[in-house]
């Protein structure tokens, strides 16, 4: 697990995951991928009051919103970094969306997608060390606001 500390905030980035610039993590499981929100993204947006995802069966293109979160700070659409079909959604998101805050890389996963074009899509994703650098830049910028 990689970590960076900015002020009193510790942001964690698992080495096994890939990330979009928008803070969506991706882990490939065969022909499928599991997606969720990064630790940095959940911390910066605040306590999640509501989380919604598109239902299973929905076809998603790169850039389409596969879901959204609502906090007191933001209503944030979540753009998918991969093309595919949603085949599973996390049932916890309805009753306990705080799982995304508490365990963003574990219990807080959001959707599983059947991948359509992984060889093309993976090229745009960041590995953990590059995403860590990005988190540092974004965190410093956030603190200056």
Partner 1 sequence: MPELPKRKVGLVSCSGEEMAEGTVTRLATLKVLETLRPEETVTICLPLFLAGGEGDRAFARFYPTIAIDGCEKRCAARGTEMYSSKPAAGIVVSELCPAGAEEQGTARRLNEAGMKAVNAVAEEIALHVDRLLGAPWDQSRGESAGDDPAAQVKAPGVATCSCGSGIPVKTLEIGGRQVEVLALPLIFDMFRQAAKPAVDETAAEMIETVRLYNRIPEGEEALWKLALGREYASYCAEVR
Partner 2 sequence: MTRKALIVPCSGIGKTYGSVAREGAYIVTEDLCPKSSRLVPLALVVLGDEEVQQTLAGSPAIAIDGCKLACAAKVVAGAGGTVAHAIQVLDVYRRHRDLKPAGIAELNEAGQELAKALADEVSGLVDGIAAEETNA
In angstroms, the CA 61 to CA 49 distance is 26
Nearer to partner 2, 72 or 119 (CB): 72
Binding segment (CB under 8 A) for partner 2, from list 12-20, 43-51, 105-113, 123-131: 43-51
Residue 7 interacts with which of partner 2, partner 1, none, CB < 5 to 8 Å by class: partner 1
By CB under 8 A, name the binding residues for partner 1: 1, 3-10, 136, 140, 143-144
Which one, 56 or 74, has the nearer CB to partner 2?
A: 74
- Answer whether 87's CB lies under 8 Å from 58's CB: no
Q: How far is the CB of 97 from partner 2 (least distance, A)?
A: 9
Q: How far is the CB of 130 from partner 1 (least distance, A)?
A: 15
User: What would the DSSP string read from start to end of 56-77?
Assistant: TT-EE-TTSEEEEEE-SS-EEE
Residue 72 binds partner 2 (CB under 8 A): yes
Non-local CB neighbours of 62 within 8 Å, separated by 6+ positions: 79, 80, 81, 82, 83, 121, 124
Q: Which is nearer to partner 2, 2 or 49 (CB)?
A: 49
Two tokens, residue 83: 């093309």
Residue 29: name its binding partner from partner 2, partner 1, none (Cβ under 5 to 8 Å by kind): none
Listing DSSP states for 84-144 in one string gives: EEEEEE-THHHH-THHHHH-TTTTT--EEEEES-HHHHGGG-B-HHHHHHHHHHHHHHHHH
Q: Tell whether residue 47 is a contact of partner 2 (CB under 8 A).
A: yes
* Residues at the interface with partner 2 (CB under 8 A): 46-47, 49-50, 72, 98, 101-102
């Amino acid at each position: 697990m990689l970590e960076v500390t900015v002020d009193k905030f510790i942001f964690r980035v698992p080495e096994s995951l890939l990330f979009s610039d928008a803070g969506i993590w991706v882990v490939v499981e065969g022909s499928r991928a599991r997606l969720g929100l990064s630790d940095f993204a959940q911390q910066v947006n605040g306590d999640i009051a509501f989380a919604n995802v598109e239902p299973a069966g929905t076809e998603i293109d790169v850039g389409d919103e596969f879901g959204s979160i609502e906090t007191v700070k933001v209503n944030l659409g979540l753009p998918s970094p991969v093309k595919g079909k949603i085949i599973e959604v996390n049932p916890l998101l309805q009753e306990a969306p705080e799982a995304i805050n508490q365990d963003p890389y574990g219990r807080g996963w959001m959707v599983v997608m059947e991948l359509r074009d992984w060889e093309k899509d993976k090229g745009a994703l960041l590995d953990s060390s590059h995403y860590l650098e990005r988190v540092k830049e974004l965190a410093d910028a956030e603190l200056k606001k």
